Amino acid sequence: MQMTARRLALPAALGTLGGLYVTQSVLSGFIWSALPAVMREQGMALEKLGFLSLLVLPWTLKFLWSPWVERWRRPPGRVPRTKTMIACGGGLVLAALLALSGQTASALAPLIATLFVIATVTATVDIACDGHAVEAFPPSAYSWANMMQVGGAYIGAALGGGLVLVAIDRLGWQAGLAVLAGLCLIGTLPFLLLRQPAPRSEPAAGGASLRAALSRPELRRGLLITALYVAAMKSSLGFFGPFLVDKGFTLTEVGLYSAAGSLVVGLLGAVLGGVAVARLGTLPVLMIALAGQAMVLAYCLAVAAGMALPLGPLAVLTQIGSNAWLAFGFVALYARFMQWSDPRQAGVDFTLFQCMDAGVGMVLGFIGGQIAGHFGYHGLFASALACSLVCAVGILRRIGDKA
């Protein structure tokens, strides 16, 4: 009986871990996919949509407070406080969503302020989630834990960017936010209610620290890989939805394409990415993903420039194809994140990688909004395609076969 229980404990723990990442991505999918489309339909200028990129700021800067979070979460000689942190964060997010339901998507300042609270809370909770993922599972289970991270992220993106968008379009703003809150509860409660595995090692002697993390060459090299890859893949990601709206697609159509891309193709891309990494290695997988995303950007550029191309493939490429390439490449990158992180201060190390991801995405999202506002979509997609090509060369020259 005990052996059977141990065999069942790992899948259950992995499943509840996946639920946490679904919750995190439901919120980010709403902010980055659903909300820009809703705001654009209500007449928001493209330049103002670029200000949504500022919501990435907590995800970019959370490394600054990650050592304090990890020291509180993992007191020496005591039970980790991971569940307590996640429960408190969840309560704050639900309260913020309630406040958000009394606002409108066209009121930019209060909307940004409330969403900034949500972003800060979820970014802080994510430190605990990532630390738990690295420290609680053996390296032999990292591939499964990584699949829960990436797979959960794409399920959450499908629900937050697709299902919630359809709910807002069909039922209204407040009902859509109620659906969003319900999804967060469903994703989080299993982790809080079920027993979780204990950390495999004691906390770092003297407490977690940024100095210890940045002193490791492999971590610094990983940050370079992350910056180049994210710059290539995400430079225009937040503007695919508004582009489709401006081309005549309804919010429901955008939401359904987004849901299909995240839930089906994104998951498939994550699984195929894991298999490809095992067969080919990290670098070839990253290059294949970059090439696929470049083809998506090239088609968008051609449509934006006025070429007589069918619009049907545009939605498929931006909402389905782009998600597939993102998942295909990021499963390789995130597996490396876990390997490069020290289990004694996993929350800090993993957070540094995510902050690089978020920081590059925030800067490029803001710049992209200004480019689109002043030069149009053709200027945005041309610059994104050029960025993709330059970063691909940078990855090849600086990383090579060592990746």
Percent of the chain with pLDDT strictly greater than 90: 12
Q: Which of 402 and 380 is assigned the larger pLDDT?
A: 380
Report d(CA 300, CA 243) in Å as an integer: 9
Residues 110-136 have pLDDT tens digits of 888 888 999 899 999 999 988 888 888
Residues 319-328 have pLDDT tens digits of 777 878 887 8
Amino acid in position 267: L
Residues 24-53 have pLDDT tens digits of 889 888 887 788 878 877 777 777 777 777
The predicted pLDDT at position 263 comes to 67
CA atoms within 13 A on the CB side of 280: 16
> If you average pLDDT over residues 187-199, what whole number do you get?
88
The set of residues, in sequence order, having a beta carbon less than 8 Å from that of 91 and lying 6+ positions away, is none
Report d(CA 383, CA 388) in Å as an integer: 9
CB atoms within 10 A of CB 394: 17
> If you average pLDDT over residues 270-276, what whole number do you get?
76
Question: In this model, does residue 401 exceed pLDDT 60?
Answer: no
The predicted pLDDT at position 262 comes to 62
Report d(CA 304, CA 308) in Å as an integer: 10
> If you average pLDDT over residues 218-241, what whole number do you get?
81
The predicted pLDDT at position 6 comes to 47
pLDDT level of residue 350 (50, 70, 90 thresholds): confident
Residues 196-206 have pLDDT tens digits of 888 877 777 77
Question: In this model, does residue 93 exceed pLDDT 90?
Answer: yes
> If you average pLDDT over residues 67-88, what whole number do you get?
89
The predicted pLDDT at position 364 comes to 81
What structural domains does the chain harbor? 2-402 (1.20.1250.20)
The predicted pLDDT at position 137 comes to 83
The predicted pLDDT at position 3 comes to 36
Amino acid in position 235: S
pTM, two decimals, is 0.73
Percent of the chain with pLDDT strictly greater than 70: 94
Report d(CA 191, CA 271) in Å as an integer: 23
